[in-house]
């Protein structure tokens, strides 16, 4: 892969496009990033993309931006991280700026309210699809530690309402140790 002006332009356009046409936050953008960067452009591997998503989720801040930074950095170092961040952040910034100008007009509009309710339903379906896809991908790898972490963390978080920060720390360290031990073998 040749890193030149065309590459940076493609990286910017891709992240800008994904961010501009993705409603609902980070979980919605994940399958689109995977499709674009892994399947279409073939710039990164699927496993690496899933790792970026996991890191992006656990880092402070917006998951889509975090993941975009990681992808950009992996592809072209600091300039790639900056360009992908700019491409990801600009669309919501532009949208929010425009919406703030016309907010009063839409505040009382019933059609706008129903449109937003419809978007919520679509976003929920996309998040469910992403969740199922990620779970299937974890189990498909047949790595017992990853499978165990997934199941135990879900039970602790969903049913026992365990502290999410502690779970992230505990299972992050567990996953890192398992990876080190696996590589040494």
Asked whether residue 25 carries a pLDDT value surpassing 70, the answer given is no
Top-confidence residue, 100 or 43: 43
Query: CA quadruple 33, 35, 40, 45: dihedral positive or negative?
Result: positive
Task: Give a yes or no: residue 51 inside a domain.
Answer: yes
pLDDT at 112: 81
Number of domains in the chain: 1
Q: How many residues does the chain have?
A: 185
Q: Report the distance separating Cα 67 and Cα 72, nearest Å.
A: 9
Task: Give a yes or no: residue 36 inside a domain.
Answer: yes
Task: Give a yes or no: residue 65 inside a domain.
Answer: yes
The rounded radius of gyration (Å) of the Cα atoms in the chain is 19
Q: What pLDDT band is residue 144 in, cutting at 50, 70 and 90?
A: confident
Task: Give a yes or no: residue 46 inside a domain.
Answer: yes
Task: Give a yes or no: residue 185 inside a domain.
Answer: no
Which pair of tokens denotes residue 81? Answer: 């991280």
Mean pLDDT, to the nearest integer, of 134-161? 89
Top-confidence residue, 155 or 110: 155
Asked whether residue 47 carries a pLDDT value surpassing 90, the answer given is no
* Structural domain that includes position 98: 5-103
Q: What's the whole-model pTM score?
A: 0.66
Residue 74 contacts residue 52 (beta carbons within 8 Å): yes
Question: Up-side HSE of residue 150: CA atoms within 13 Å toward CB?
Answer: 17
> How big, in percent rounded to 5, are the helix, strand and coil portions of the chain?
85, 0, 15
Alpha helices in 59-143 (DSSP H): 63-107, 110-140
pLDDT at 89: 94
């Amino acid at each position: 892969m040749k890193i030149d002006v065309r590459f940076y332009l493609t990286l910017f356009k891709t992240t800008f496009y994904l961010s501009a046409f993705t409603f609902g936050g980070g979980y919605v953008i994940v399958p689109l990033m995977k499709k674009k960067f892994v399947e279409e452009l073939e710039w990164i591997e699927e496993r690496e993309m899933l790792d970026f998503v996991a890191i992006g989720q656990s880092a402070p801040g917006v998951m889509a931006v975090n993941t975009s930074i990681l992808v950009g950095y992996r592809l072209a170092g600091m300039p790639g991280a900056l360009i992908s961040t700019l491409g990801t952040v600009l669309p919501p910034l532009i949208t929010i700026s425009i919406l703030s100008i016309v907010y009063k007009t839409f505040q009382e509009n019933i059609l706008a309210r129903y449109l937003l309710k419809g978007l919520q339903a679509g976003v929920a379906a996309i998040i469910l699809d992403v969740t199922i896809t990620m779970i299937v991908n974890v189990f498909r790898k047949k790595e017992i530690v990853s499978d165990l972490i997934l199941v135990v963390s879900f039970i602790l978080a969903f049913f026992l309402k365990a502290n999410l920060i502690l779970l992230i720390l505990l299972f992050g360290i567990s996953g890192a140790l398992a990876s080190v031990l696996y590589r040494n073998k």
